[in-house]
Amino acid sequence: MKIKYLLVLAVLLIFNSYTWSQEQKGENVVLFFVPQYLVTNGIRLDIDLRKPDSNKWWIISPYYYSDGSSSSQLNPGSEYDYNPYAYEKMEGYGLGISRKIFVTKHSYKGLYASLGVTYRHFTLTGDNYNYVETIGEDGLTYFEMQDLKYTVNINSYNGFAIIGQQFNPFSKFYIDLFLGFGIKYSTHSSPEKVAIQYNRGNIDYGYSGTQFIAGARLGIALF
Protein backbone atom coordinates (compact mmCIF):
# COMPACT_ATOMS: atom_id res chain seq x y z
CA MET A 1 0.00 0.00 0.00
CA LYS A 2 1.40 3.42 -0.95
CA ILE A 3 2.48 5.81 1.79
CA LYS A 4 -0.08 8.43 0.80
CA TYR A 5 -2.95 5.99 1.34
CA LEU A 6 -1.56 5.07 4.75
CA LEU A 7 -1.47 8.76 5.67
CA VAL A 8 -5.09 9.24 4.64
CA LEU A 9 -6.11 6.15 6.61
CA ALA A 10 -4.29 7.44 9.71
CA VAL A 11 -6.13 10.76 9.54
CA LEU A 12 -9.51 9.04 9.18
CA LEU A 13 -8.88 6.68 12.10
CA ILE A 14 -7.76 9.47 14.44
CA PHE A 15 -10.66 11.68 13.40
CA ASN A 16 -13.15 8.86 13.94
CA SER A 17 -11.84 8.23 17.45
CA TYR A 18 -12.89 11.75 18.45
CA THR A 19 -16.34 11.92 16.86
CA TRP A 20 -17.93 10.71 20.11
CA SER A 21 -17.17 14.14 21.57
CA GLN A 22 -19.92 15.81 19.51
CA GLU A 23 -22.40 14.93 22.23
CA GLN A 24 -20.23 16.54 24.92
CA LYS A 25 -20.44 20.16 26.02
CA GLY A 26 -17.92 22.41 24.29
CA GLU A 27 -16.12 22.42 20.97
CA ASN A 28 -13.67 19.59 20.64
CA VAL A 29 -12.99 19.38 16.89
CA VAL A 30 -11.95 22.47 14.93
CA LEU A 31 -11.03 22.45 11.23
CA PHE A 32 -8.43 25.07 10.22
CA PHE A 33 -7.26 26.28 6.80
CA VAL A 34 -3.68 27.61 6.57
CA PRO A 35 -3.68 30.08 3.63
CA GLN A 36 0.06 30.81 3.35
CA TYR A 37 0.73 27.39 1.79
CA LEU A 38 -0.98 28.59 -1.39
CA VAL A 39 2.24 30.53 -2.12
CA THR A 40 4.11 27.22 -2.54
CA ASN A 41 1.29 25.58 -4.55
CA GLY A 42 0.09 23.67 -1.50
CA ILE A 43 -2.98 23.16 0.64
CA ARG A 44 -2.72 22.48 4.37
CA LEU A 45 -5.69 21.66 6.58
CA ASP A 46 -5.40 21.27 10.36
CA ILE A 47 -7.76 19.07 12.35
CA ASP A 48 -7.54 20.20 16.00
CA LEU A 49 -8.79 17.53 18.42
CA ARG A 50 -9.18 17.40 22.19
CA LYS A 51 -10.98 15.49 24.89
CA PRO A 52 -13.77 17.51 26.57
CA ASP A 53 -12.64 20.13 29.12
CA SER A 54 -8.95 19.61 28.35
CA ASN A 55 -6.53 22.43 27.46
CA LYS A 56 -4.37 20.01 25.45
CA TRP A 57 -5.04 19.45 21.75
CA TRP A 58 -3.68 17.13 19.07
CA ILE A 59 -3.30 18.69 15.61
CA ILE A 60 -3.37 16.43 12.53
CA SER A 61 -2.21 18.27 9.40
CA PRO A 62 -2.59 16.69 5.93
CA TYR A 63 -0.77 18.43 3.06
CA TYR A 64 -1.31 18.32 -0.68
CA TYR A 65 0.77 20.07 -3.37
CA SER A 66 0.26 20.37 -7.11
CA ASP A 67 1.69 22.60 -9.82
CA GLY A 68 1.93 22.28 -13.58
CA SER A 69 2.71 25.88 -14.47
CA SER A 70 5.92 27.76 -15.26
CA SER A 71 4.74 31.00 -13.69
CA SER A 72 4.55 30.13 -9.99
CA GLN A 73 7.04 31.48 -7.46
CA LEU A 74 8.99 28.21 -7.20
CA ASN A 75 8.79 27.37 -10.91
CA PRO A 76 9.74 30.53 -12.81
CA GLY A 77 10.03 30.01 -16.54
CA SER A 78 11.44 31.94 -19.48
CA GLU A 79 11.57 31.03 -23.14
CA TYR A 80 14.98 32.73 -23.48
CA ASP A 81 16.92 31.93 -20.28
CA TYR A 82 18.03 28.48 -19.20
CA ASN A 83 16.49 27.58 -15.84
CA PRO A 84 17.64 24.27 -14.32
CA TYR A 85 14.90 24.48 -11.66
CA ALA A 86 12.03 24.59 -14.15
CA TYR A 87 9.75 21.56 -14.06
CA GLU A 88 6.71 20.43 -15.98
CA LYS A 89 4.80 18.97 -13.06
CA MET A 90 5.06 18.82 -9.29
CA GLU A 91 2.96 16.76 -6.91
CA GLY A 92 3.38 16.28 -3.19
CA TYR A 93 1.68 15.08 -0.06
CA GLY A 94 2.46 14.92 3.62
CA LEU A 95 1.28 14.65 7.18
CA GLY A 96 2.08 16.64 10.30
CA ILE A 97 1.36 15.82 13.93
CA SER A 98 1.70 18.31 16.77
CA ARG A 99 0.67 18.82 20.38
CA LYS A 100 -0.82 22.16 21.43
CA ILE A 101 -1.24 23.28 25.05
CA PHE A 102 -3.03 26.47 26.11
CA VAL A 103 -1.25 28.28 28.93
CA THR A 104 -4.22 30.43 29.90
CA LYS A 105 -7.28 29.35 31.85
CA HIS A 106 -9.21 28.87 28.62
CA SER A 107 -9.03 25.55 26.79
CA TYR A 108 -9.82 26.85 23.31
CA LYS A 109 -8.49 30.43 23.02
CA GLY A 110 -5.64 32.59 24.20
CA LEU A 111 -1.89 31.97 24.36
CA TYR A 112 -0.57 28.48 23.58
CA ALA A 113 2.63 26.56 22.85
CA SER A 114 3.03 23.72 20.36
CA LEU A 115 5.61 21.10 19.34
CA GLY A 116 5.35 18.97 16.21
CA VAL A 117 6.88 17.01 13.36
CA THR A 118 6.06 16.86 9.65
CA TYR A 119 6.86 14.51 6.76
CA ARG A 120 6.37 15.52 3.12
CA HIS A 121 7.13 13.81 -0.19
CA PHE A 122 7.44 15.58 -3.56
CA THR A 123 7.79 14.28 -7.11
CA LEU A 124 8.95 16.75 -9.76
CA THR A 125 9.14 15.81 -13.44
CA GLY A 126 10.67 17.71 -16.32
CA ASP A 127 11.96 17.56 -19.89
CA ASN A 128 14.88 19.90 -19.99
CA TYR A 129 18.64 20.34 -20.19
CA ASN A 130 20.13 19.48 -16.83
CA TYR A 131 23.34 18.34 -15.24
CA VAL A 132 23.60 14.56 -14.88
CA GLU A 133 26.05 12.75 -12.62
CA THR A 134 28.25 10.26 -14.49
CA ILE A 135 31.20 8.08 -13.59
CA GLY A 136 34.19 8.43 -15.90
CA GLU A 137 36.59 5.71 -17.02
CA ASP A 138 38.99 6.88 -14.31
CA GLY A 139 36.36 6.16 -11.65
CA LEU A 140 35.80 9.84 -10.84
CA THR A 141 32.41 11.57 -10.74
CA TYR A 142 31.66 14.09 -13.48
CA PHE A 143 28.67 16.24 -14.37
CA GLU A 144 27.57 16.68 -17.96
CA MET A 145 24.67 18.54 -19.53
CA GLN A 146 22.00 16.35 -21.12
CA ASP A 147 18.57 17.00 -22.61
CA LEU A 148 16.32 14.36 -21.07
CA LYS A 149 13.09 13.58 -19.30
CA TYR A 150 13.76 13.28 -15.61
CA THR A 151 12.19 12.82 -12.19
CA VAL A 152 13.35 14.21 -8.86
CA ASN A 153 11.97 12.70 -5.65
CA ILE A 154 12.22 14.66 -2.42
CA ASN A 155 11.61 13.44 1.12
CA SER A 156 11.40 16.24 3.67
CA TYR A 157 11.42 15.97 7.48
CA ASN A 158 10.65 18.89 9.77
CA GLY A 159 10.53 19.47 13.53
CA PHE A 160 9.23 22.71 14.99
CA ALA A 161 8.22 24.64 18.10
CA ILE A 162 5.78 27.55 17.97
CA ILE A 163 3.84 29.90 20.20
CA GLY A 164 0.54 31.38 19.13
CA GLN A 165 -2.52 33.35 20.07
CA GLN A 166 -5.91 31.88 19.19
CA PHE A 167 -8.96 34.11 19.00
CA ASN A 168 -12.65 33.22 19.02
CA PRO A 169 -14.24 36.44 17.71
CA PHE A 170 -17.72 34.99 17.34
CA SER A 171 -19.71 31.79 17.45
CA LYS A 172 -17.71 28.85 16.03
CA PHE A 173 -15.15 30.90 14.07
CA TYR A 174 -11.46 30.97 15.08
CA ILE A 175 -8.39 32.98 14.08
CA ASP A 176 -4.95 31.71 15.06
CA LEU A 177 -1.72 33.75 14.71
CA PHE A 178 1.57 31.98 15.38
CA LEU A 179 5.36 32.17 15.08
CA GLY A 180 8.22 29.90 15.97
CA PHE A 181 11.35 28.05 14.91
CA GLY A 182 11.94 24.84 12.97
CA ILE A 183 14.63 22.55 11.60
CA LYS A 184 14.16 20.89 8.21
CA TYR A 185 16.10 18.11 6.49
CA SER A 186 15.47 16.97 2.91
CA THR A 187 16.84 14.26 0.64
CA HIS A 188 16.87 14.28 -3.18
CA SER A 189 16.99 11.27 -5.50
CA SER A 190 16.61 10.86 -9.25
CA PRO A 191 16.48 7.68 -11.36
CA GLU A 192 18.27 9.62 -14.12
CA LYS A 193 20.87 10.95 -11.61
CA VAL A 194 20.19 14.62 -12.35
CA ALA A 195 22.15 16.83 -9.96
CA ILE A 196 19.50 19.52 -9.37
CA GLN A 197 18.44 20.15 -5.76
CA TYR A 198 15.47 22.32 -4.83
CA ASN A 199 17.20 24.02 -1.92
CA ARG A 200 17.10 27.67 -3.01
CA GLY A 201 15.52 29.05 0.17
CA ASN A 202 13.63 28.08 3.30
CA ILE A 203 10.28 27.70 1.49
CA ASP A 204 11.68 25.53 -1.30
CA TYR A 205 10.48 21.93 -1.54
CA GLY A 206 13.88 20.40 -0.81
CA TYR A 207 15.23 22.92 1.69
CA SER A 208 17.51 21.76 4.53
CA GLY A 209 18.33 24.03 7.45
CA THR A 210 16.71 26.19 10.09
CA GLN A 211 13.42 28.00 9.55
CA PHE A 212 11.63 30.98 11.03
CA ILE A 213 7.93 30.14 11.12
CA ALA A 214 5.10 32.66 11.05
CA GLY A 215 1.54 32.44 9.79
CA ALA A 216 -2.16 32.40 10.39
CA ARG A 217 -4.94 29.84 10.52
CA LEU A 218 -8.67 30.31 9.94
CA GLY A 219 -10.95 27.76 11.57
CA ILE A 220 -14.50 26.62 12.10
CA ALA A 221 -15.63 24.39 14.96
CA LEU A 222 -17.23 21.14 13.79
CA PHE A 223 -18.23 19.58 17.13
Residue 24 lies in a domain: no
- Flag the least confident range among 15-19, 29-33, 55-59, 133-137: 15-19
Asked if residues 123 and 144 have their Cβ atoms less than 8 Å apart, the reply is no
In sequence order, the β-bridge partners of residue 192 are none
The angle subtended at Cα 167 by Cα 165 and Cα 173, nearest 5°, is 140
Whether residue 115 lies inside any domain: the answer is yes
What domain count does the chain have? 1
Q: Which residues span the domain enclosing 13? A: 3-19+32-221
- Structural domain includes residue 168: yes
| pLDDT > 90? residue 60 | yes
Residue 87, strand partner residues: none
* Closest by CA position to 12, among listed 95, 136, 93, 132: 95
Residue 26, in any domain of the structure: no
Q: What is the pLDDT of residues 175-223, one digit of tens each?
A: 999 999 999 999 999 999 999 999 999 999 999 999 999 999 999 999 8
Largest CA distance in the chain: 73
* 25 part of a folded domain: no
